Amino acid sequence: MNNDFRKSTVYQIYPKSFCDTNKDGLGDLRGVIEKLDYIKELGVDYIWLTPFFVSPQNDNGYDVEDYYNIDPRYGTMEDVEELIAEGKKRGIGLMFDMVFNHVSTRHEWFRKAMEGDPYYKDFFIFRKGKGDGVPPTNWESKFGGNAWEYVEKFDEYYLHLFDVTQADLNWENENVRKEIQKILKFWMEKGVRGFRFDVINLISKACYEDDETGDGRKYYTDGPKIHQYLKEMHDATFGKDEGIVTVGEMSSTTMENCFKYAGRDTGELSMVFSFHHLKVDFMGNEKWVLVPTDFQKLKDIIFDWQTKMAEHNAWNAVFWCNHDQPRVVSRFGDEGKYWKESAKMLGTIIHCLRGTPYVYQGEEIGMTNTDFTDISQFKDVESLNHYQILQDKGLSASDALRIIQIHSRDNGRTPMQWDDTKYAGFSAEDSAEPWIAVNGNHTRINAAEQLKDEDSIFHYYQKLIAMRKELDVIAYGDIEPLAVKDPCVFAYRRTYEGHELIAAANFYGRDCTWKGAPDVTGYERVIGNYKDAVSVENGVMNLRPYEAAVWYK
């Protein structure tokens, strides 16, 4: 394991969809143990596991009922301890996903609150309504509907920014913060080497007032005490161990706040996830629409975050995919003729940026969006809610389904494609049917095939991950955007102590010419997704469909 997170790469596992060893149709922790050698071969330093704690699974584990115990459907505490130990043997640290904005309404704290225990009632955000049947504010839940749920017993409402079964915690209460510190210390003592904090910038609420837009975000995003809370958590727990890596998922955040969240000397977190670059196929903040990708906006956002975070000595997590996002090769690449080239091109762009790269399970083999044709195949609560909401707004069922097919979180949640057998090697052929359907293209796109093929997407990702360890310019270098206004080229220069690296990519499935390209004479082409070199003459670079190349001097 590389203790310098700037030289590291993180592999994200969604356990439910990774590998099923007990034949019940759900991935489990023993499945992660079974695949550790595959993950080691890829070359990553950390595994981020999405939550596997006891949960009713209304939001796939992001509704935690018990932070100290393992959901039996995933395994046992002994499995977790073995996974940590076996990862350590292979130089891989475990990063756990901690959901601290809210808990399941089945959590002991909430059950005691509902019994009327004043100590635990203050763990949550209860408010009187504005009148008969009128919630305290007009805020909208991120999963649709009002964000307040009425409790007749108290004649009060509790806040749930997500599902009605996910009650927001009251971070104003010092006892809540102390309980969270206890949870982190417990897992640190077990040997966990990293933490990813779910929607952590929502924990400080500014006030409880109506919002003219109706969503309420301005009152709970990057709130007034957020930096105080993070510093306190840092100082009491993971800040005592320099080897622990932390990353905060920052929902609709501002860059100015991220300078503090992930500043080198601010004492909060190692790095941040921001999502602005993954809204370039939205209409404003609205994702449930079909609009073309705004490539110029994508470049502007990535370069803005890259350069300004660097200026403020702050660190990014860089990524295309996770369990909440569609598959990037379907989203920004090509599932067809240029599948392999476009998957490699997208990997090249991310892995040579300033920041720690995250690879989501299956990204390294070019997995695509689902091939679902009926709403009954989808499992995600957000997708199912919005399928109905879109029809309530007047869309036809077929138009609503098309939007769900493109944007659903289930696109990233279909079973990992290990081989070409019936259930893609996720489960044995005599297993229960997987909890969500396997993509039919697993007969063509699978890890077994790619491990045998030196020209595969897997081996390309393996090389990108190794390059970050080998070339200090990737880990530590400054970044200079290139081809900033070019309609098809994504390019940048990295520099560090006399070393230089130039990355260039054609974002589209057609030939393109980059006029004003840098002279790469005397540079070594260290990686590229076409076998032969890019044509560069007199400041003109001719790039083939989805071509990417990186030069080093």
DSSP 240-271: G-TT-EEEEE-TT--HHHHHHHTBTTSSS-SE
| Residue listed under structure tokens 């601290």 | 100
What lies within 8 Å, CB to CB, of 78 at 6+ separation is none
Output the six-digit token pair for 374: 């009926």
**pLDDT number for residue 35:** 98
- Angstrom distance (rounded) from CA 247 to CA 12: 13
pLDDT exceeds 80 at position 51 = yes
**pLDDT number for residue 2:** 66
Residue type, 268: E
Residues 483-511, mean pLDDT to the nearest whole number: 98
Q: Where are the alpha helices (DSSP H) in 408-520?
A: 447-452, 457-470, 472-476
- Nearest alpha carbon to residue 270 among 225, 227, 238: 238
**pLDDT number for residue 339:** 98
Q: How far is CA 208 from CA 126, 219, 350, in A?
A: 11, 7, 39
> CA 329: distance to chain centroid?
15
Q: What is the pLDDT of residues 359-376, one digit of tens each?
A: 999 999 999 999 999 999
- Angstrom distance (rounded) from CA 438 to CA 425: 10
Q: Extract the runs of DSSP E, i.e. beta strands, from 351-401.
A: 356-360
Three-state secondary structure string covering 26-72 = CCCHHHHHHCHHHHHHHCCCEEEECCCEECCCCCCCCCCCEEEEECC
Q: How far is CA 18 from CA 362, 544, 553, in A?
A: 9, 35, 39
Q: What is the pLDDT of residues 405-442, one digit of tens each?
A: 999 999 999 999 999 999 999 999 999 999 999 999 99
Residues 282-293, mean pLDDT to the nearest whole number: 92
What lies within 8 Å, CB to CB, of 303 at 6+ separation is 479, 481, 484, 492
> CA 59: distance to chain centroid?
15
What value, to the nearest 5°, has the Cα angle with vertex 77 and ends 71 and 80? 95
**pLDDT number for residue 285:** 82
pLDDT exceeds 80 at position 291 = yes
Q: What is the pLDDT of residues 451-466, one digit of tens each?
A: 999 999 999 999 999 9
pLDDT exceeds 90 at position 143 = no
For the chain, the average pLDDT equals: 96
Report the relative pairing of strands 166-168 and 148-151 from DSSP bridges: unpaired
Residues 30-38, mean pLDDT to the nearest whole number: 98
**pLDDT number for residue 381:** 85
Percent of the chain clearing pLDDT 90 (strictly above): 95
For residue 24, give the H/E element and its range. none
**pLDDT number for residue 234:** 98
At residue 21 the predicted structure's pLDDT band, cuts being 50, 70 and 90, is: very high
| Residue listed under structure tokens 């071509």 | 547
Q: Active site includes 198?
A: yes
- Angstrom distance (rounded) from CA 458 to CA 447: 8
- Angstrom distance (rounded) from CA 6 to CA 477: 10
The one catalytic residue in 97, 249, 363, 380 is: 249
pLDDT exceeds 80 at position 200 = yes
Output the six-digit token pair for 93: 């640290």
- pTM over 0.85, yes/no: yes
**Weakest mean pLDDT among 83-87, 101-105, 159-163, 537-541:** 537-541
The one catalytic residue in 163, 198, 281, 363 is: 198
Q: What is the pLDDT of residues 220-258, one digit of tens each?
A: 999 999 999 999 999 999 999 999 999 999 999 999 999
pLDDT exceeds 80 at position 213 = yes
Q: Is 418 helix (H, G, I), strand (E, B) or coil?
A: coil
Contact present, 464 and 527 (Cβ < 8 Å): yes
At residue 341 the predicted structure's pLDDT band, cuts being 50, 70 and 90, is: very high
What's phi and psi for 381, nearest 5 deg? -60, -40
Residues 37-55, mean pLDDT to the nearest whole number: 98
Output the six-digit token pair for 302: 């990535």
> CA 474: distance to chain centroid?
21
- Angstrom distance (rounded) from CA 195 to CA 178: 17
At residue 1 the predicted structure's pLDDT band, cuts being 50, 70 and 90, is: low
- Angstrom distance (rounded) from CA 222 to CA 225: 8
- Angstrom distance (rounded) from CA 134 to CA 142: 19
